A = this chain, B = another copy of it.
């Protein structure tokens, strides 16, 4: 299903946080880093975050799991987040977007990634970019940010020497980079499905083709607003994003466009595969029909001839003629062979 999440209740008061049952409790990863050193700890949100800004440095708080309303409200108070933005964090799925607020920029992005070679993971990631912090909310633990964390631990990394805007860029870039393996997998599947359509079409081919189509439609619905969102980060005036980071974002924008264009191409290929399937099936019916027609056209007249001389009329002169039987064989052979000749000339015999 394309649209598999429950929407929030119609007409509900804006600002309400609807926590769905079954959402995992949050796991929180905190990084506090300066150019010189980096601290990193994990918590389940039960401790206070008051000590967070005790020491200088930039902070990245990564909340994985949206299952705890109280925690979300504490975070909102601590980082002074606007209620509408916090509501968007939990009202998944949102369209990717960039929304400037007074003290922070609110980014909604969507991770579509292949984690550990398994199924495609599709999850909303909300990013708050403030003056000294980056705050991220994920629907579930498990993401494609590991390389960013590695770089953060490395003192020579540019992340350490840049502001939180660069970290936000690095996260966005990781999300967009995560689209590539998905698109590659879809491409592989399409190539396979084309082969399958040509060689061994089955209902599962159709099913798989429709599934690829749906994933492509999902990606498309994500990619265009994602691209727009990155573009507005680059274009809009905002003191939180430095000129230098905008240059890097241009690259991410390019990648996003590239993936979106590949998705468009793939959509066309999916239709081609579906059409190929139909054509191959029609072709097979044709093959089957040829066999039937050849067999029937050869043997039905012969059976008729045999039937004639199986009749019990008293007065059938041929029955008593000595060479009737071999002559009939000759006639039957002639009829049979002429049918074969006819079909061979039509090109129905011998060959695909």
Contact = CB atoms under 8 A, between A and B. Distances in A.
Interface stretch (A41-49, A57-65, A123-131, A271-279): A271-279
Interface string A260-276: 01100111110010111
B283 A170 contact: no
A70 interface: no
Interface residues of A, number: 119
A177 to B, nearest CB: 4
A310 to B, nearest CB: 4
Interface string A1-23: 11100011111111100000000
Interface in A155-185: 157-158, 170, 173-174, 177-178, 180-181, 183-184
A235 interface: no
Interface in A198-222: 198, 201-203, 206-207, 210, 213-214, 217-218, 220-221
Interface of A: 1-3, 7-15, 84, 88, 93-95, 97, 99, 113, 144-148, 151, 157-158, 170, 173-174, 177-178, 180-181, 183-184, 187-188, 191, 194, 198, 201-203, 206-207, 210, 213-214, 217-218, 220-221, 225, 247-248, 250-251, 254, 257-258, 261-262, 265-269, 272, 274-286, 288-293, 295-297, 299-304, 306-316, 318-320, 322-325, 328, 348, 352
